[in-house]
Amino acid sequence: MFIANYMTANPLTITADVLLPEARRLLDEHHFRHLPVVDKDNKLIGVVSDRDLRSASPSTILDDREREEHFKIYQKTPVSEIMSTNCSCVGIDASLDDALMVFNRDKVGALPIVAEDDTVIGIFSMRDLTAAYKKLFGAAEKGSSLIAVLDEARSDTSLSRIALLLEQNAIKCTRLIKIANEGSFDRIYMRVNTEKVGSFYKVLQDNGFTLLKP
């Protein structure tokens, strides 16, 4: 699955000369946490985040005079002073796995999506990633159940055997995956949509599969 299916296309962007209060207003008004910063050609030059703006805001531990002075500076400061210029981004052809690796590596909360010429064409957030994987694994599907079994047979045909059992028992299956588990048996997960979950548990056990429980 590709981030192009889940990103926000044509996102709100700002230029480097936008002042911090205006950036704050835009984030609050649109319920965003990140704003790509672009040049006059809409090419990415940085990202300013909610965290950046909070860090630049006058501290509540300052006395009134210091806070007032800090606030005057804050009101006149452009985002170019606090934005991240060495920002993470990905191309339109990136997959969910690509995005997950960048999020994990760079500890960022959103990724601008750029074209080959570095123009901003979208933005993809951790919330988008969560929604995408939720759909990928069917977690939000009404009436669905997740079944997990051990692949004790260590067989290359385990998935096909389960697929046949599902078909023979008229069980609707929307997801069927095997995940390697180093040092132990692989895990097989299936998301089914049926009222016969209990009876299918027995079918699996009768065919040599061990059910996994939380």
Domain boundaries, the chain: 3-135, 144-211
For residue 100, give the 3-state DSSP assignment.
helix
Q: Is 53 exposed, middle or buried, given 0-12, 13-18 or 19+ CB atoms closer than 10 A?
A: buried
The CATH T-level fold of domain 144-211 is Alpha-Beta Plaits (3.30.70)
Alpha carbon of 92 to those of 114, 133, 135, 153, 202: distances in Å? Answer: 7, 18, 20, 41, 45
Q: In this model, does residue 68 exceed pLDDT 80?
A: yes
- Cβ contacts of 151 within 8 Å, gap of 6 or more: 158, 178, 185, 186, 187, 188, 209
Question: 214 falls in which pLDDT band (50, 70, 90)?
Answer: low
pTM comes to 0.75
For residue 175, give the 3-state DSSP assignment.
strand
Question: 67 falls in which pLDDT band (50, 70, 90)?
Answer: confident
Q: In this model, does residue 59 exceed pLDDT 80?
A: no
pLDDT at 123: 97
CB atoms within 10 A of CB 120: 22
Residue in 212, 213, 193 with CA at minimum distance from that of residue 145: 193
The pLDDT tens digits of the residues spanning 1-33 come to 799 999 999 999 999 999 999 999 999 999 999
- Read off the pLDDT of each residue in 118-133 and give the average, rounded to a whole number: 94
Q: In this model, does residue 53 exceed pLDDT 90?
A: yes
Between CA 80 and CA 96 the distance in angstroms is 30
The pLDDT tens digits of the residues spanning 130-168 come to 988 888 777 767 778 889 998 876 677 889 999 999 999
pLDDT at 154: 67
The domain 3-135 is placed in CATH, from the list 1.20.140.10, 2.30.40.10, 3.40.50.10490, 3.10.580.10, at 3.10.580.10
Between CA 200 and CA 164 the distance in angstroms is 12
